[in-house]
Amino acid sequence: MRSGVERIKVYARVRDFQDSEIQGTTAEEAVAVQINEATCVVLETLSSSTINAKTKTRRTPFTFDQCFSSAPSVGKGALASQEDVYNAVGKPLVDNALSGYNSSFIVYGQTGSGKTHTVYGPPNALGSALEGLIPRVCNEVFARQQASAANIVIHDVSVSLCEVYQERVYDLLSSRRQALEVGGETTVNGFFVRGLQTTTVGGYSDVVLLLQQAEQNKSYGATAKNERSSRAHTLFTMDIVSSSPESGAPKVRSKIVLADLAGCENVKTAKSD
């Protein structure tokens, strides 16, 4: 984010219930959190040995920069769509990147909490209202290039996709399942992955093809929490070379890094070992 202007921001999103989570009860009875604007309240049912006769639930509030509810029984107001999340989280990343600042977001949470849904969208969602943050960010970058009022000229855009699975790094754009080596820090690009393929893209359609290709190479597995769970950390990197002719400033290189982390969970409960 812009130095002196922006800071690290933290958001929370609550997904809707899966059918298995409300069997034998109602959605209202199954609710474990409540959302009120930027505050998320965790509801914990206590055992009778730790509470008095009048108290059955412990309420623990957590305050974020913004909370999104995608569950009808959680929070107030309209449900948060993929577009709502993008407008709050993704669009500022594009603004900063086209101003010459590196930007990133990291999605973290328990297995089955909806991380990959938020980042990529459900299967076959590309180009639809359900597509996630990554395709929307890419679409916005190229849309800015075409908008004459933006006063931004994008000279070059390239992307790479890799995953970290069982402490090994793999190129998701390569058909060869070969572990890559992480190189030491440099003064220009920081840490890097030797042999990681970087592909130049000329538009949103090019990115869609790469995301579809990467989807076939990702590591998935079934857990007790999710039938199709991402079992690896996935990093999408977009390098942008742009300039603003009106300002007379030289070309700038900026980077957007989007990280979809593997599930954080109790291994015994999730049965993911």
- What are the pLDDT digits (tens) for 69-123? 888 777 676 789 999 999 999 999 998 888 888 999 999 988 888 888 899 898 8
Pull the structure tokens for residue 147: 């908008």
Could you identify the residue written with the tokens 């190479």?
217
Pairing of strands 66-69, 103-107: unpaired
Report pLDDT for 4. 47
SS3 state of residue 171: strand
User: Residue 51 and residue 1: Cα distance in Å, rounded?
Assistant: 45
Average pLDDT in the 210-218 region? 87
The band of 265, judged by pLDDT with boundaries at 50, 70 and 90, is low
The band of 43, judged by pLDDT with boundaries at 50, 70 and 90, is confident
In terms of pLDDT, which residue wins out, 78 or 185?
A: 78
Report pLDDT for 52. 53
- Cβ pair 40, 61 in contact under 8 A: yes
183 pLDDT more than 70 = yes
Report pLDDT for 220. 56
Report pLDDT for 257. 93
Return the percentage of the chain with pLDDT > 70, whole number.
76
Distances (CA, A) of 190 to 101, 193, 239, 255: 15, 10, 14, 12
Report pLDDT for 24. 63
Q: Which of 158, 161, 160, 150 is nearest to 98 (CA)?
A: 150
* Burial degree of 265 (CB within 10 A; 0-12, 13-18, 19+): buried
Average pLDDT in the 189-218 region? 86
User: Residue 212 and residue 118: Cα distance in Å, rounded?
Assistant: 16
Q: Which of 15, 254, 272 is nearest to 156 (CA)?
A: 254
- Cβ pair 199, 173 in contact under 8 A: yes
- Cβ pair 206, 197 in contact under 8 A: no
Report pLDDT for 150. 58
User: Residue 78 and residue 9: Cα distance in Å, rounded?
Assistant: 22
Return the percentage of the chain with pLDDT > 90, whole number.
33
Pull the structure tokens for residue 131: 């597509």
The band of 47, judged by pLDDT with boundaries at 50, 70 and 90, is low
User: Which residues fall within 8 angstroms of residue 8, CB to CB, at 6 or more apart?
Assistant: 1
Report the 10 Å Cβ neighbour count for 266.
11
Q: Which of 91, 99, 92, 230 is nearest to 161 (CA)?
A: 230
Report pLDDT for 75. 67
203 pLDDT more than 60 = yes
Query: Hey, which of 25-39, 147-161, 172-186, 245-259 has the most confident mean pLDDT?
Result: 245-259
